[in-house]
Copies of this chain bind each other. A is one copy, B any other.
Amino acid sequence: MEKGVLSAAAMRSALFSQLPATETSRLLAASMPRQFQPGQVLFHQGDTSEYLYQIVAGLVRITQINSEGEQITLRIMRPGDLCCVAAFRQPSYPATATAIEDTTVLAWRVGSFVALTQQSPAIADNVVCIAGDRTREMLQRATEMTGKCIAQRIAASLLRLSAQAGTATADGIHIESPVTRVDLASMAGLTYFTVSRTLSAWQKQGLVRSGRHRLTILDMARISEIAEPRPARG
């Protein structure tokens, strides 16, 4: 990918949002473009945090190992997302990031990135926004996981997944190849089998269309309703 295209793509992101031109160029100047192939790991859980990544193209799966030794998919990162806010001022990465498509990122050394935020209130402000957003999402996720009803957890994970890795089509939201129901299961903290059963049932009801390596949400409204039975207060 060419440098101009790369920075153009990067600038449509929360990190670069509403930044004065000087800050934008400082950020870009300090960044290093890097490429990852599917399966390549950007960083491992527990590694000393050296780099921050802004995803420009591709898809990245963020996983954590739970106490039973299973890989839990926390979220899918897409172009525009900043990886990983939780490591920002921490000694080590809290999770593992794996490219699941050909992925292009801008990388910053943690030290230089911190220096930039300290020099530029505008950048710092954007980082704070992103961090708040991410915290809120994880808060939400932690709450969702406490629900007893499995269908709700699957529906909630499905919504999350569709927002993070879905593409809109005529039929509905389409979730493509590298993201399988294995991801769905590991996001919802369930078995494979249970997810498969639930999706089968939903398919019979016309809520989703599910197949080999692909998944389409046909009736977004009802999936949302399953995830959140009583329309959220507030």
Instruction: Determine if B140 and A233 form an interchain contact, defined as CB atoms under 8 angstroms apart.
Output: no
Task: State which residues 55-69 of A face B: CB under 8 Å.
Answer: 64-69
Q: Say which size band chain A's interface belongs to.
A: 35 or more
**Residue from the list B64, B119, B132, B140 in contact with A87, Cβ < 8 A:** B132
In the assembled complex, how far is the CB of residue A133 from the closest CB belonging to chain B, in whole angstroms? 7
One digit per residue, 1 when the CB lies within 8 angstroms of any chain B CB and 0 when it does not, for chain A 120-151 equals: 11101101110111111011111111111100
Instruction: Check if A24 is an interface residue, CB within 8 A of chain B.
Output: no
Q: Would A229 and B86 count as touching, CB distance under 8 A?
A: no
In chain A, positions 183-234 with a C-beta closer than 8 Å to chain B are 186, 188-189, 227-230, 232-234
Closest to A189 in B: B146
**The one of B94, B129, B140, B156 that contacts A136, using a Cβ cutoff of 8 Å:** B94
User: Least Cβ distance of A16 to chain B in Å?
Assistant: 16
Contact, CB under 8 Å: A86 / B139: yes
Tell whether A95 is near chain B: CB-to-CB under 8 Å.
yes
Decide: B45 and A128 in contact? CB cutoff 8 A: no
**Is A34 close to B, CB under 8 A?**
no
Q: Is A90 an interface residue (CB 8 A)?
A: yes
Cβ contacts A137-172/B at 8 Å (1 or 0 each):
011111111111100100010000000000000000
Partner of A66, one of B45, B120, B143: B143
A40 proximal to B (CB < 8 A): no
A135 and B74 form a contact (CB under 8 A): no
For the complex, give the distance between the alpha carbons of A140 and B142 in Å. Answer: 9
Asked if A42 lies at the interface with its beta carbon under 8 angstroms from chain B, I say no
Interface assignment of A26: CB less than 8 Å from any CB of chain B: no
Which residues 66-123 of A sit at the B interface, judged by CB distance below 8 A?
A: 66-70, 72, 74, 85-90, 92, 94-95, 114, 117-122
Give A152 to B95 CA distance when docked, in angstroms. Answer: 20
The answer to whether B229 and A67 have CB atoms under 8 Å apart is yes
A38: CB under 8 A from chain B? no
CB of A194 to closest CB in B, whole Å: 11
Residue of B nearest to A153 (CB): B67
